[in-house]
Copies of this chain bind each other. A is one copy, B any other.
Amino acid sequence: MNTKKKIIEEALILFSEKGYSDVYVNDIAKAVGIKAPSLYKHFKNKQEIFHAILEELREDYTKQAANIGIHGDNANVDAGIYADVTEEAFIEMGKKLFLYFLHDDRMRLFRKLLTIEQFRDSELADLYSKQYYNDPLSYQGELFKIFISTGKFKRADPLVLALQFYAPIYTLLTVCDRQPEREQEALYMIEEHIRQFNINYSEDKQ
């Protein structure tokens, strides 16, 4: 019963590193601790394993998004949380979030998987853009819109602000995904980036 879960887990690890085609059912079986033919007691074929992973990815994401509040709906609540936070605390939050995205195993593996497989299938391409561009941007955009309307931030296109805030962090995330040894450097850049971003847009700064 738990074997099925385990298959998905191990397959995810393998796929995210080598891509679908370079992982053999044999590898997956070995990682799980069974023989290849036994996999077929749980999945119709290799494709099905991949689909199951995608399903999990979607589910996980929906949960995460609800949690962290990546949807516009929560921006209102979150804006309250951020409203009277100091710059240092804001930086700390940014770094924490970055580290969370970087180190959370599931998220990291899913991200790498989508990165590798994105050109194979337009459904995957859309999923990638949604999860790593559209949704984060629209969430951040909502947040900044509120900041602007409450006078915390200077007046500007909130979506552009969101892009300017998010893209550097996202870029550094992808750097660390492929070169984990650069984490320190990335953290430093993020800190300076957020600091500078505050200088640019915060109304109480000048």
Contacts and interface: CB of A to CB of B under 8 A. Distances in A.
B179 A168 contact: no
B178 A129 contact: yes
A119 B192 contact: no
Kindly list the 7 A-B residue pairs having the minimum CB-CB distance in the complex, ordered from nearest: A21-B21, A125-B178, A167-B167, A167-B168, A167-B171, A200-B200, A160-B192
A131 interface: no
A72 interface: no
A21 B24 CA distance: 12
Interface in A101-145: 112, 115-116, 118-120, 125-126, 128-129, 133
A22 interface: yes
Contacts of A21: 19, 21-22
A184 to B, nearest CB: 15
**Majority secondary structure of chain A interface residues (helix, strand, loop or mixed):** helix
9 contacts: A21-B21, A22-B120, A119-B177, A126-B179, A129-B175, A129-B179, A159-B189, A166-B171, A170-B171
Interface string A152-187: 000011011101101110110001011100100000
Contacts of A192: 157, 160
A196 interface: yes
Contacts of A116: 19, 116, 119
